[in-house]
Structure 1
Amino acid sequence: MVFVLVEDVLYVSSAGCNLFSPGLAVDQGFTMTWDSEARIFGMTKENIEVIRTEFENSLWTFNAQNVGNNFANNKNIAMKKKVFANFAVTHGVEDIDVWHERLGHTCPEYIRLMVDRGMAKGIMLKRRGKIDCVDCHFGKQLHKTFRKKLDRPIEKGNDLVFADLLIPGASNGSPYTAVLVVMDGYSRYVKIYLLKSKGDVEVNRYMQEYIAWAERQHGVNVAEVITRNWSNDDEDGTGGVLVKQVLTDKGQEFCN
C-alpha cells in the first residue's frame, strides 16, 4: 500500500470538478451508506464495500478498492483484490504567472525573492519574466468618486415628494397594518398616515390628501388631483407652488 501525502495544497490549475462525487457514484450503480453519529461515509457495489471514509482533522480521507467477486456478509467486510488511489497533484516547477495565482496574486517580485533566497520549499520557476495579470489590474482600479448630492431639480418645496409604505406586520398590537410615509424632497418635512389597509384605494386617497394639503400650504386650493402636464414655469399662475413629482418605489399600492 502506498500513501501519498500532499501538504499545503492551495491551488490546482487544471482541477475543474470534484475529486469524488457521491451523486455521480449513485447514478453509476453504487450504494451510499452514512452514519451521522460516527461520522462515517461509505460506498458499496454488489454487496462489496469499495469506499469507507472517516472524518479526521476536518478532512474526509479514504482508500478506494477495486470491486471484486467476493461478497460481504452483515458483519464482515469482504477482502479486496487490490488497492488503488486517485488523486490530483501538481509539481512545483511552473511559470511565475501560475505561482502568482497559486499564492493568491502575490507580487511577482516577492515570489522571485522567495525563490532566490530559498524562503519557500517546493517553488521552482520555469520562466521569471514579467506577467500581465488581468485580475490584479482590475483590483487596483480606483472607483468613481461618490456624488455628494443627486442631480434632481429640487429648488423649493413641492418640487419632489417621496412616498413609501412601512409594513410593521399583522401582529403589531394596533388596528393598523401599514404606515404611509411621505416626505418633501426640499424641506425634508415628513408626514405619516396610519392605514388599515395597504390597498391602492386607501393609499391613493391619503396621497391625494397629502398633495392637497401640501399645495394649500403655498396658498393654492386644489379642488381635485389630476395628472398634470408641466411646463418649465415653476409657478402655477396664482402665486402658489404645486406638487410637481411624486417619487415612489413603483409598488402596486401606488396607482397613478
Structure 2
Amino acid sequence: MTGNHEHFKEIDENVTGQVRFGDGSYVKIKGKGSILVECNNQEQRIISHVYYIPSLKNNILSLGQLTENGCKVILENDLLYLYDQNKTLLMKAERSTNRLYNINLKVGTPICLLNKLEDEAWLWHARLGHLYFDSIKLMTRKKMVEGIPHIIHTNQICDACLLGKHSRTPFPNQAKFISDEPLDLVYGDLCGPISPPTHSGKKYIFLLVDDYTRCMWVYILTSKDEAFKTFKEFKLKVENEVGIKLKLLRTDKGGEFTSNEFTQFCKDNGIARQLIAPYSPQQNGVVERRNRTMLSTTRSMLKAMSMPKIFWAEAVRHTIYVLNRVPTKALTDCTPYEALKGRKPNLGSLRVFGCIAYSKVLSHLTKLDDRSIKMVHLGMEEGSKTYRLFDPITKKICVSRDVKFVEKDSWNWKDYMNDVGSDEPGWIDFVINQSLTPTTGNSECKYANNEINESEQVSSPNSPTTPFTPPTYTFETNSMEVAEYASSSNSSARPFDHTPIKGFKSLDNVYERAPEIKTTELVFTEEEPQNYKESLVDKKWMKLCKLR
C-alpha cells in the first residue's frame, strides 16, 4: 500500500474499498496497480497488486503476500532477509526501535526497448516475445533450445512489457499434478466475441492446451458453431502427429461444447468429457493461465513496434509459436515443443515481430529496378522454413525465405491507418465481450481473462478455417502469388434503417383494399398450408379461393 500516485507505472482507479487498521480506523482505497522498483545491482522487479491510499503517510509492504507468490522470508537477529524463488536475495532490512523493518526502495524507470535492440540480450528478449530474463538465462544454461547464444543479463523491464502488463515469474518449480503422457488431458477454451472482428469476420480465439506437454494450439474462428468442426480437425491432426489417441477433454459448459453433435462425437471416439462448474474458472486453470500469458505477450509485441490493432490475430499466431518453444514452470529443463516432438527447437531463425524486413523480388526485373521490397515481419510460416511478410503499401501478405531484417526499426503506420479509413491512428486496447448470465442450455460460459486486446487482421474473406486467421500464401517459380487485402470499411456497424420495405402495407391498408366476400358458409381450417401444393389438396382452401 502506498499514498504516492507517482510511484505507479500502471494503475486501475476503478478499484475501490477500505482497509482497516489495528486500532479500528479505516482508510479508503482509490485504486490498485503495479510499481517498478530497482535493486542495487540494477535489476528491476515489479510489485503488483499495490493499493493506492491517498491518506496513507508511509508505504507498507505485505510479507504475507510476498510469501504467497513464492518468496521466502528469514528473520535472524535484527535483520530481515527476503529471497525469491531462485533463492536470490531481494531485500535486506534492519529492525527499527518500534520493531518494524524499514527499507528504502528506489522506484525504477522502464527501459526503452528500441534504444536497446543493439544489445544482444535485449534483442533476444524482443525476439522471444518479451520473455523474462531469468527464463532466457535458464534456457541457455540448460541448453533447452538451439540457435540462442549464452545470455546473462540482469532482470530489467522494458516499456512494452510494462504496457502489456507482462510480468512473469521464473520457471524452476514443477506443477503438483501432471498427466502421464501426451493427450491424456486436453484443456479447451473459447474467447470472444472480439469486437471489431477481423476483415474476414473472425472474432473468436479457440485455444487448446495439452496438460502433459503444455503445448498449445490456437484457431481463429468466425462464430462459435465452428468450434465443433475445428475440434475434429485438431483431433485428427494431433493424433496423427503424436501417434496417441486423445483421452480426455476439459472445457466449460458453453453451448458450443455441450451441443448434441459435439457430445455424440466424443462418445463415438471414446473421449471422456469434464465440464467445469459455472463461474469456476479455477477448475480450468491451466488453459486460463496460458490464455493470460498468450494475451499479455501479444500486447507486448504489438506495443513494442507500435503496430495497429488490426494485426492481433497475426500476433496471437506468432505468440503461440514462441511460447511453445520457451520454458514453462510445469516442465523441468524442457520446452513444450521438445516434450511433444522429442527434439529441441532451433530458434536461430527467430526475428523480432513487427520489425522491418526486405524481401527479394523474384519477378522479372529491369536493370534499374529495386531488388527488394520493404515489408513488415509477421513471424514464421508454420510448416515451412520461410517468413510471413506484409506489405503495407499494396496491403498484401506473402511468404519468402530470401529476407534481410532491420530489427531495431518499425514501420510508420500513420499513412497506412489513413489509407484503410481508420479513425484510430495508433494502438487501442480491446476488450472481450463477456456474458455474466448463468450457464444453462445453449448459453455460453466463458472464463477467459479480461486483459485481451481486440483488433482486426489481414485475411482473405473466403479463406478456410485454419489454425491461422490469414490463409497461406506461397510463391510460384517465377512469380509471387498473394491474396488481395479485404477492406473492412463497408463492414462496420451502420445505423438501423427504418424505411419500410418496398411494397410494405399496414394491416389497416390491407383491410381497406380487401374485397368483400359474401357467403352463407363459415370456412374453418385446422392448419394453414405451407406451400402451393398443400393448398391444392385442401378442399376448404380451394373453396375459399373460388369464393374470392
Classify the TM-score, shorter chain.
Answer: 0.3 to 0.5
Question: Could you state the TM-score of these two structures normalised by the residue count of structure 1?
Answer: 0.32
Give the structure, 1 or 2, with the largest relative contact order (CA under 8 Å, sep 6 or more).
Answer: 2
Question: Could you state the TM-score of these two structures normalised by the residue count of structure 2?
Answer: 0.16
Larger Rg: 1
